[in-house]
Amino acid sequence: MAMRARQKIRAPRRGPTAGKTDDFEKYWGDLSTSLKKIHTKDASDISFELLYRNAYGIVLANRGPDLYERTKALEKEWLDGEVKAQVTAAITSSLLLAREQVDVQDQANERREAGERFLAAIKEAWEDHQLCMGMITDVLMYMDRVLAEHRKPPIYVAAMALFRDHVLRSTIRSDSETTVYSVLESTVLFMIQLERSGHIIDRPLIRHCIYMLEGLYETITEEESTKLYLTVFEPAFLEASRKFYQAEGRRLLETGDAATFCNIATERLREEIERCADTISPSTESKIKDILDNELIRNNLKEVISLEGTGVKNMLDNDRIDVLQSLYVLSARVDDKKAPLTAAVQKRIVEMGKEINASAIAAAQASTLGVGKKPEPGEKKPAEKEKPVNQQTVAAIKWVDDILALKQKFDNIWMKAFKSDQVMQGAISSSFAEFINLGQGSSDSRSSEYLSLFFDENLKKGIKGKTDIEVDALLENGITLLRYVKDKDMFEAYYKKHLSRRLLMKRSVSMDAERQMISKMKMEVGNQFTQRLEAMFKDMTISEDLTSSYKQHVRQASDPDQKKVELDINVLTSTMWPMEIMSNVKSDKVQLACIFPKEIESVKQSFEQFYLGKHNGRKLSWQASMGTADIRATFQRSNGKTQRHELNVSTYAMMILMLFNDVPAGESLTYTDIQAQTRIPDHDLGRNLLSLAVAPKTRVLKKDPMSKDVNPTDRFFFNHDFQSPFMKVRIGVVSGSANKVENQDQRKETEKKMSEERGASIEAAIVRIMKQRKTLIHSQLMTEVLTQLSARFTPDVNMIKKRIESLIDREYLERVEEDPPTYGYVA
Amino acid sequence: MSSSKSSQPDYVTLVSGDGFEFVIPRSTACVSGTIRRMLDPSSRFSEAISGRCVLENISGVVLEKVCEYFCYNEKNKHQAHVPDMDIPPELCLELLMAADYLDT
Amino acid sequence: MANRRQTRNQIRGPHSALTDFLASNNISAAQIHQDHQRRLQEAERQAAVEEEGDVTVGHDEHHHVGELPEERKKRKRKEAVALANIKQSKEFARRKARRTGESDDDDEAIAREMMHERSRPLPGQLENCEACGKRFTVTSYSKTGSQGALLCAKCSKVLADDEKKLKAKKRGARSGRRQNQSNLLDGLIQQGALSLAEMCTKRVADNINDIEEFGDLPSQLLHRLSQILCKRRVLTPRTLNLFLRPGIDSIDIYDAAKLETDDFEKIFTLMPNLSCVNIRFAGQMKDKVIESMLGRNLKIKRLQLDAANLVSDTYWRRLFQNLGVQLESLKLSNLDFSLDDESVEVLCRCCTNLQRLKLKQCWKAGNHSLRAISNLSSLEHLSLSFVQEVHTEILLETISRVSPKLQTLSLEGFSNANDRLLEVVHDNCLTLKKLRFSHNAACSDAGFVRLFTDWENPPLEIVDLSSMRDLDNTNPESPTDAIGLASQGLVALMNHSGSRVQKLNISSCRHVSHSAFEEVFSHEKTYPHLKELDVSFHTVIDDYIVGRIFRCCPKIRKLVAFACFNLRDVQIPIGVALIGSLKAQDPMIVRSAY
């Protein structure tokens, strides 16, 4: 059992000073000599341990605070004397002279050199101070540790504050107000100014001086926000920059070249970012960018964009993609919406669009004049086949092509210069829509019609010999424009009309292309839109079957020796096809059904029997105006020869010609006779007679008197002397058989129909909504109707109101309340 | 002993007030904040140049214990729940003063 | 072998000072009583045996010569019963447990050994010492030597010293984990070795009784030593003397419960340079002490006294008058019925340079005190915990008047302060760094939202809004309407102060929703300075939220989560103390049961 004698623990030996306060001065004396040596970079023979031990002893003797104050005083003296002298010695008069601008080149050079010397002196003083204070702090670390509990800032911090006050903020001469700092600031700003005007400066040197400002604080607690850099230098720098860029902005505007402005602004931005990274502080980057954005870009952008001759208009016209791109980038910096640029682009699009509109109208008018001079442009020669029907149609197609080209141009700009910006895309689209729909509702707007004609032309001829891909692209282009057309119902009407002609007259080049077109429209506009078009196709297919099965039927049922009249029939669902084709009603007059020749009548009855036998309860009405007939005509030449021709004529023409079967040779029929016997409508009769008796190549009839118009008293003879180099002769009807731009009357007609149809659509929509909602406030009802119909057309608010009234009158709706006006659905 | 600031494993010499010398790795000695600063190559004090620290007011007995602690500290740097080092009671006050002095 | 440490792990109530004293001298009252009883019993039994003329020196019961067969039988039976009894005893079980692995791992042997021990001389008898052979009087404190016989007082002491050292060592090794758990509860997670200074300080504290003086020990080390000694409750009049050094200007005694009135006087006599005084549990601080302070013209700038409730109001007033404008900081706590309103008024009239004032649990302070405090124009730190109910109006006025320089505002127990107080804080306090406002059921979530929304005050660093909740025992479910800080308030708080907050206590603010926590600790949020967070009694906290907390708070060191029952299996980052979760407690329970 080890027994340890109770042992008292020794108190540690005392430190060197051992509480004897008299020793303080001695130790401080040694210490201060050494600290001075540190400042004069003469420390290599100094023992750290000795200094540390001295400081430790002093602190242990509770003289820490004294040591702290003495050290501060020593530093202050050093800075006030040596350091300040060094720094102020480097200040020359050129640094103090012109504090604003130095215009003269050699003066600037002189000042720069002096500035560099001065900055180097500051940098050296600062770096020495940091280094020495680092060493001194190390030596005095024990003091710092103990005094930290007395809430004293570390000696290093205190010494930095001394540097701030006794070097930077000291005046350069006792009789001057100017401080070292203010010289520093003006020198650095001067250097930056030099660099901005293209000189090369010593960036690292400035960066070092900025480091110093970032390492010094206003307060002893060293809050981030009180860095001298932030409190003093940065504001000055930003203010100087603001002035500079204000001036630069003015200067650039005066030179009046938008492209230069964009290039310089872009370059300035890059420069400033680089400056923040290399010369001053990265923390300033966002602030200087703000200044550039505000002073240089935002304040001038609008004017730059609208600069005469070099602004956006010019850039767009000349496809200056590069400049537009930098303009776009600059705009995006200051404005999410890029309002001025967007507006300029939009304005230019509308202008160019209007030009296209105007040239189309001009072309159309030119052709109208042409029509006046040459009243029978519809007359066909084989050579003319490939040509568009008339000038107006040419204008229409040119219009579409022009717009497509414009679109192409702006798509290109949008993609390359505007970085496929969403907002810009919207703006461009809306501008296209704007001019395309310009004058919507008035007779000026022909976009729907033109577009439909474009399709018509292409589907009839344009796509011949093109590959599938080309066709697809062509149609796609058209569809793009369709996207901009607001009144889709108008387009639909035209398309239907044109389509029906193509279908009934078999003018389509490719049914595939037609179907492709339908499916494209379906994707673009929706199911509802193409429903009726598709129904038309369906009717055509069914009719084909029907025709063949009817032929079958006839073969089986009828007696074989009867002179056969072959019938190709298209049964059309009346609601799906264009109204003017379907209606028997014209100009509010009831038109009696025309009288077919016997042979035809019997075929007609036979078919009706056949058809109604299949589909009980349906009503067939015959549209003779749309039909054609092949008839074989025998011409007894005066020389006794007979010449046969096969004539391809309209149904009406066939009916007229058939009359002459019963007319003895040399006899004639008057217009009135013909009308009485056929009941062909006036208009059609006239046109048909014109083509039979007046058109130079197809004069199967002779007219007396021979003139270019048809009067009721005219008499018609069968022309046995009809000559034609061809066996088969096609006799077209003067105007009306081909799709072309409507004339004013037709247009009014179309519009009237349109508005009736719209009325019906609106009513349908109202009833649909009300049936679902039962009661609804007026404004809400309006909104819903508008949204429901917007895909097809933009309904007129007054029209909706009228329709609501009308529905109330007809007791579909009732007024439930007056304030706010509310309607109820009457079941 | 090598006192150069080479990349070789570097040793420094600690000398007690009564003349005992302890040669230990530099990194180990730098467990002490005071010695670390003393040897900091960027300051140009004589200790940093020579790699030799004379600790005038620490006795050999205590300095030995201090060196032991340096090693103990290095060894347990990344461990949790480190058992205390054995400290003879009669040394504890002096060691405490030394620890305070050396910022350890 | 020592046999008295066995009670160590039993849970006991609070110690009295006496118990502590005895314990520190390794004396247990219960043990003494037990030993005494046992010796008495042994003596009786032995006397019975001796009466039968069968005395054997050395108590060798294996050789009972001349014993009658029946007596022998009887004795054997008795012995068997005694052995059986011993085998049943806890003591036996413990001893056996301790001996497992030893060669004499034999129930019988152990039992016999124990029986031997019990049959020792009674106190008052004479006995020869086992070690030195001297004859001595047996007392109840006499110890057993290595052979099982008793030792004289001197040898006992030597043995006791050795044993103590042994024990200390053993404890060091075995209680490591336990100590770690204890540290964990304090939020201390040690990585790597302790600093040499800290280790030495502890060693000095271990050997405090052997130290004669501290010499030149600098005051920061004295402070730390005082903390450790006070925590161990060994700061006695003797150890106090070590700290009394005239050159030093501060004294910190965290537990002065063992000091006498004279000791307090001694502090002020021996340390004339004192400027910072911090004495807690100063129960024996009496008028006399103040009187002696007054005479010495002390330069006290900072004064903190706790539990000095024997000082009369007259002396408080005289003290305040005496210290006057030099006093910068005053913290008084647990003064009970000492210090009345009038004294506080004197304080506020005389000590106009007060920058820091803390009044806690001074029962008599009320409305008048509050009104007086409103005149302190230099106040930067104000902490109040009143027992008396005060008028809200006065409180509001006081806060708005002292607010301009205020960095710390701590209000506890102002139960009727409502949203208007928050409004006053919002409108007037613009330099706060620390805000504590706890134990209140009158403020609403909306009030907190308004406080933290568009508040010109920079982000707070320390926030304690704990126990802002309704406390109504008849309605344990708590009201459905949010009371105190709730979801929106927390979100607003973190939006305002998240960037700087270091310590945040929102325990028992029971209306914070899971989604609010999710929002506050969502992926894009970080709280770069948050080190300590208390979310106790937030039952919505789950593993996910805690995981998010660890993600969002890179510097967190301490997360207190008592009664967060949804915490099951949290991954705790290295160096973070998660306190109070079931997982953290489990090992504690297991280990304290050995």
E strands, B1-104, where?
11-16, 21-25, 52-55
Residues A76 and A204 in one domain: yes
How many angstroms away from the CA of B66 is the closest CA of chain C? 8
| Domain contains B25 | yes
Q: Which residues fall within 8 angstroms of residue C56, CB to CB, at 6 or more apart?
A: C63, C64, C65
Interface test with B, best of A130, A138, A149 (most B CBs within 10 A): A138
Yes or no, beta carbons of C212 and A9 under 8 Å apart? yes
pLDDT digits over A411-449, tens only?
888 888 888 888 888 888 888 888 887 765 454 567 788
Please name the residues in contact with A255: beta carbons below 8 A apart, sequence gap of 6 or more.
Answer: none
The domain of B73 spans 9-102
SS percent in chain A: helix, strand, coil, step 5: 65, 5, 30
pLDDT, position A386: 38
- B92 touching chain A per CB within 8 A: yes
Given a contact cutoff of 8 angstroms between Cβ atoms, the answer to whether C581 and C570 are in contact is yes
Hey, are the CB atoms on B37 and A48 less than 8 Å from each other? Answer: yes
Split into its structural domains, chain A has a count of 6
Q: Is A746 exposed, middle or buried (0-12, 13-18, 19+ CB in 10 A)?
A: middle
A225 touches chain C (CB under 8 A): no
Residues A770, A786: one domain? yes
* A vs C: CB pairs below 8 A: 46
pLDDT at C521: 94
Rounded to an integer, what is the distance from CA C590 to the centroid of its chain? 23
- Residue A20 inside a domain? The answer is no
B61 vs A: CB within 8 A: no
The predicted pLDDT at position A163 comes to 93
B72 domain residue, yes or no: yes
Contact check, Cβ <8 Å, B42/A48: no
Of A246-255, A689-698, C178-187, C311-320, least confident by mean pLDDT is: C178-187
Residue A428 confidence (pLDDT) = 87
Among B47, B90, B101, the residue with its CB nearest the CB of A47 is B47
Of residues A366 and B44, more confidence is placed in: B44
DSSP A666-725: T--EEHHHHHHHH---HHHHHHHHHHHHTSGGG--EEEES--SS--TT-EEEE-TT---S
Of A1, A11, A19, the CB nearest to C247: A19
Give residues 134 to 153 of C whose Cβ lies within 8 Å of A: 146
* Single-letter amino acid, residue C301: K
Question: From CA A765, how far away is CA A800, in angstroms rounded?
Answer: 10
Residues of chain C numbered 195-234 and touching chain A (CB < 8 Å):
204, 207, 210-220
Contacts of B30 in chain C (CB under 8 A): none
- Same domain, yes or no, for A97 and A207? yes
User: Using CA of residue C197, residue C202, residue C203, residue C204, what is the dihedral sign?
Assistant: positive
**Inside any domain, residue A564:** no
H or E element that contains A210: helix A203-215
Last residue of a domain, one of A550, A580, A604: A550
- Mean pLDDT, range A451-479, rounded to an integer: 81
Residue B3 resides in a domain: no
Please report the pLDDT score of residue B5 as a whole number: 44
Position A375 scores a pLDDT of: 37
Q: Residue A206: which residues within 8 A CB-CB, separation 6 or more?
A: A119, A188, A191, A192, A279, A280
The pLDDT of residue A385 is: 37
Within 8 A by CB and 6+ apart from C175, the residues are none
CB contact at 8 A, C257 and C285: no
Question: Are B26 and B39 contacting, i.e. CB atoms less than 8 angstroms apart?
Answer: yes
The pLDDT score that the predictor gives to residue A737 is 45
DSSP string across C249-316: -EEEES--TT--HHHHHHHHHH-TT--EEEE-S-TT-BHHHHHHHHTTT----EEEEES-TBS-HHHH
Tell me the helices (H) and strands (E) count for chain B, helix number first. Answer: 5, 3
What is the three-class DSSP state of C457? coil
In which domain, by residue range, is A755 found?
Answer: 747-825
Alpha-carbon distance of C387 to C363, in angstroms, equals 5
Is B73 an interface residue toward C (CB < 8 Å)? yes
| pLDDT recorded at residue A18 | 46
The residues, any chain, with a CB within 8 Å of residue A715's CB and separated by 6 or more, are: A668, A669, A670, A671, A703, A704
- Tally the C-alpha atoms within 13 A of residue C179's C-alpha that lie toward its C-beta: 12
pLDDT digits (tens, 9 = 90+) for A105-137: 667 788 888 889 999 999 999 999 998 999 899
pLDDT at position C588 is 35
Instruction: State which residues of chain C have pLDDT below 50.
Output: 1-13, 54-61, 170-174, 584-594
Inform me whether the pLDDT recorded for A790 exceeds 60.
yes
* Residues linked to residue A9 through DSSP beta bridges, in sequence order: C211
- pLDDT for A662 equals 77
Helix, strand or coil for residue C450? helix
> A372: pLDDT confidence band, cut at 50, 70 and 90?
very low
- C254 shares contact with chain B (CB less than 8 Å): no
- Inform me whether the pLDDT recorded for A165 exceeds 60: yes
Q: Using an 8 Å Cβ cutoff, are A724 and A697 in contact? A: yes
Distance (Å) from the alpha carbon of B83 to chain C's nearest alpha carbon: 8
The rounded distance, in Å, linking the Cα atoms of A360 and A338 is 32
Q: Are residues A318 and A363 in the same domain?
A: no
CA distance C491 to C516: 7
Pairing of strands C408-412, B11-16: unpaired
Within 8 A of C201 by CB-CB distance, chain B residues are 96
Per-residue confidence at B74, pLDDT binned at 50, 70, 90? confident
Residue type for A324, please? L
Measured CA to CA, the distance from residue A510 to residue A197 in angstroms comes to 68
- Comparing alpha-carbon positions, the chain C residue that sits nearest to B77 is C192
What's residue C320's pLDDT? 94
Check residues A228 and A821 and name the one with the higher pLDDT.
Answer: A228
Return the number of other C-beta atoms located less than 10 Å from residue A414's C-beta.
Answer: 20
Q: How far is CA C165 from CA B81, C158, C488, in A?
A: 22, 11, 58
Domain boundary among A436, A454, A483: A436
For residues A118 and A120, give the distance between their C-alpha atoms in angstroms, rounded to a whole number: 5
Q: Tell me: do A463 and A486 sit in the same domain.
A: yes
Q: Where does residue A618 rank: exposed (0-12), middle (13-18), buried (19+ CB within 10 A)?
A: exposed
Q: Which of A537-546, B84-93, C394-403 has the highest mean pLDDT?
A: C394-403
- Lowest mean pLDDT across A19-23, A59-63, C363-367: A19-23
Chain segment A795-825, per-residue pLDDT in tens: 778 888 888 888 888 888 888 877 788 888 8
pLDDT at C591: 31
Q: Based on the domain organization, do A206 and A88 belong to the same domain?
A: yes
- Contact between C422 and C446 under an 8 Å Cβ cutoff? The reply is no
Q: Is C165 helix (H, G, I), strand (E, B) or coil?
A: helix
Q: How far is A18 from chain B (nearest CA, A)?
A: 12
User: A693 and A640, same structural domain?
Assistant: yes
Residues pairing with A631 in the sheet: A647
How many whole angstroms separate alpha carbon C199 and alpha carbon C273? 30
Rounded (10°) angle between helices A391-416 and A468-484: 90
Domain annotation covers residue B42: yes
Domain match, A643 and A777 both: no
Q: How many angstroms separate the Cα of A272 from the Cα of each of A193, A334, A518?
A: 12, 16, 57
**Scanning every residue of chain A, which has its alpha carbon at the shortest distance from the alpha carbon of B49?**
A44
Interchain contact, B101 vs A49, CB within 8 Å: no
Q: Which residue has the higher pLDDT, A733 or A382?
A: A733
pLDDT in tens, C102-158: 555 566 666 666 666 666 667 777 778 777 878 888 777 777 777 767 778 788 777
> Are C443 and C417 in contact, with CB atoms under 8 Å apart?
yes
SS3 sequence of C30-58: HHHHHHHHHHHHHHHHHHHHHHCCCCCCC
Is B24 a member of any domain?
yes
In 3D space, the residue among A112, A84, A255 whose CA is nearest the CA of residue A171 turns out to be A84
Identify whether B1 is part of a domain.
no
Give the tens place of pLDDT for each residue, C525-539: 999 999 999 999 888
Residue whose C-alpha is closest to residue A423's, from A298, A532, A332: A332
- Using the Cβ of A52 and the Cβ atoms of chain B, whether some distance falls under 8 Å is answered with yes
Q: Identify whether A168 is part of a domain.
A: yes
Do A704 and A763 lie in one domain? The reply is no
- DSSP readout, A354-403? HHHHHHHHHHHHHHHHHHHH-S-TT---GGGTTS-SSHHHHHHHHHHHHH
Residues of A in contact with B94 (CB under 8 A): 10, 12-13
* 3-state SS class at C454: coil
Per-residue DSSP letter, B3: -
Contact (Cβ atoms closer than 8 angstroms) between residue B48 and residue B6: no
Best-predicted range by mean pLDDT (A350-359, A394-403, C549-558): C549-558
Q: Regarding predicted confidence, which is higher, A747 or A474?
A: A474
Minimal C-alpha gap between C252 and chain A (Å)? 13
CATH code: domain of residue B51: 3.30.710.10
Question: How many Cα atoms occupy the beta-carbon half-sphere of C411 within 13 Å?
Answer: 20
- CB A298, CB A290: distance < 8 Å: no
Percent of chain A at pLDDT exceeding 70: 88
Please report the ipTM that was assigned to this predicted complex: 0.92
For A61, nearest residue in chain C (alpha carbons): C247
Nearest CA in chain A to B14: A49
